[in-house]
């Protein structure tokens, strides 16, 4: 089985990168950016320089732009070209534990706690031992309506496995400014899933590679890039997303929380509308994207039709 780890970085190899690079049954692909050190080197993995990306598809490179996390779309294309079966997408500040990647649930029949909700969207963090915080991308208008009382045991087949993260969790800027949590999630509550679409991120997530043609981190929408990607893939491909126990510790890189909030505003304004519309028409999400983001997505998809 061909398994790839995809990330971007503007840093020298971090503790997380070095650990991912040492995993013998995974191939690490690091996508460079203009700020990445020129002498960036891995011991085992593959580093893709800005020049290599431009040679691969200059039009797509120009359409995505530089100095952005959405460059990791090139990693998805590299993995696709190398006949990947499974792709893990990670951040360079998420330090993997010793069992990371060894407990894959993808394509397996597994028993989960299955949460049934009447809401159009499910917040995974609220199903854990941290009830007062929420996942980045969950519509703020629905926070007071979250209800986890209707839960059953169910056998599902996982298409996407979203592992959690101890330390600084993936919450939005408003939630972080209010709570500033340092989390240690109770592993007994995992794995779980839901009947509703749920936001998941691109910092510690495993996907079947045959989903990559519809999984794209949309540029020019701030910190909604991976959130709207998660909405789209679930609506378009009817995927089962299973949330699993933490397998990394996030030692979060420095952030300006006011800037983060500004980059999330598009989601605060539109997430609930998007969720409501894409249940009937997944491509309705695309109208919320700027034209250059839709253009980049179309260029990306061409690589899967060659």
Among 230, 133, 128, which Cα is nearest to 172's? 133
Q: What pLDDT does residue 282 have?
A: 98
Query: What pLDDT does residue 254 have?
Result: 79
Q: Are strands 27-31 and 46-48 parallel, antiparallel or unpaired?
A: parallel
Question: Is the pLDDT assigned to residue 252 strictly greater than 90?
Answer: no
In this prediction, residues 214-234 reach a mean pLDDT of 98
Residue 222 has pLDDT above 80, yes or no: yes
8 Å CB contact between 218 and 289: yes
Q: Is 110 exposed, middle or buried (0-12, 13-18, 19+ CB in 10 A)?
A: middle
Give how many domains the chain has, as a whole number: 1
CATH of the domain at 95: 3.90.550
- Neighbouring CB atoms inside 10 A of 284's CB total 16
Residue 253 has pLDDT above 90, yes or no: no
195 falls in which pLDDT band (50, 70, 90)? Answer: very high
Q: Is the pLDDT of residue 306 over 70?
A: no
193: left (phi over 0), alpha (psi -120 to 50) or beta: beta
- 220: alpha, beta or left? (left if phi > 0; alpha if psi -120 to 50): left
- The whole-model pTM stands at 0.96
Range of the domain at 276: 3-302
Which tens digit of pLDDT belongs to each residue from 57-101?
A: 999 999 999 999 999 999 999 999 999 999 999 999 999 999 999
User: For 37-60, how does the pLDDT look when each residue is reduced to its tens digit (9 = 90+)?
Assistant: 999 999 999 999 999 999 999 999
């Amino acid at each position: 089985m061909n398994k790839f780890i995809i990330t971007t970085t503007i840093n020298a190899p971090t503790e997380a990168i070095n650990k991912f690079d040492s995993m013998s049954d995974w191939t690490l692909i690091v996508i460079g950016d203009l700020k990445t050190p020129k002498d960036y080197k891995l011991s085992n993995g593959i580093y893709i320089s800005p020049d290599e990306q431009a040679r691969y598809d200059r039009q797509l490179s120009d359409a995505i732009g530089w100095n952005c996390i959405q460059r990791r779309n090139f990693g998805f294309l590299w993995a696709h070209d190398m006949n990947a079966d499974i792709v893990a997408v990670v951040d360079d500040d998420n330090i993997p534990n010793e069992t990371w990647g060894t407990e894959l649930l993808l394509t397996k029949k597994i028993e989960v706690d299955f949460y049934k909700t009447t809401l159009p969207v499910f917040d995974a963090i609220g199903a854990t031992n941290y009830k007062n915080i929420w996942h980045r991308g969950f519509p703020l208008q629905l926070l007071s309506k979250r209800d986890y009382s209707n839960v059953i045991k169910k056998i599902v087949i996982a298409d996407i496995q979203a592992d959690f993260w101890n330390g600084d969790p993936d919450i939005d800027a408003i939630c972080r400014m209010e709570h500033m949590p340092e989390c240690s999630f109770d592993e007994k509550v995992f794995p779980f899933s839901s009947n509703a679409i749920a936001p998941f991120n691109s910092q510690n997530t495993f996907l079947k590679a045959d989903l990559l043609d519809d999984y794209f981190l949309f540029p020019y929408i701030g910190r909604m890039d991976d959130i709207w990607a998660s909405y789209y893939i679930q609506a378009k491909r009817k995927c089962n997303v299973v949330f699993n126990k933490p397998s990394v510790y996030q030692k979060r890189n420095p952030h300006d929380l006011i800037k983060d909030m500004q980059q999330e505003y598009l989601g605060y304004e539109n997430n609930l509308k998007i969720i409501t519309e894409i249940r009937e028409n997944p491509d309705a999400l695309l109208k919320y994207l700027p034209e250059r983001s839709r253009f980049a997505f179309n260029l990306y998809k061409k690589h899967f039709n060659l």
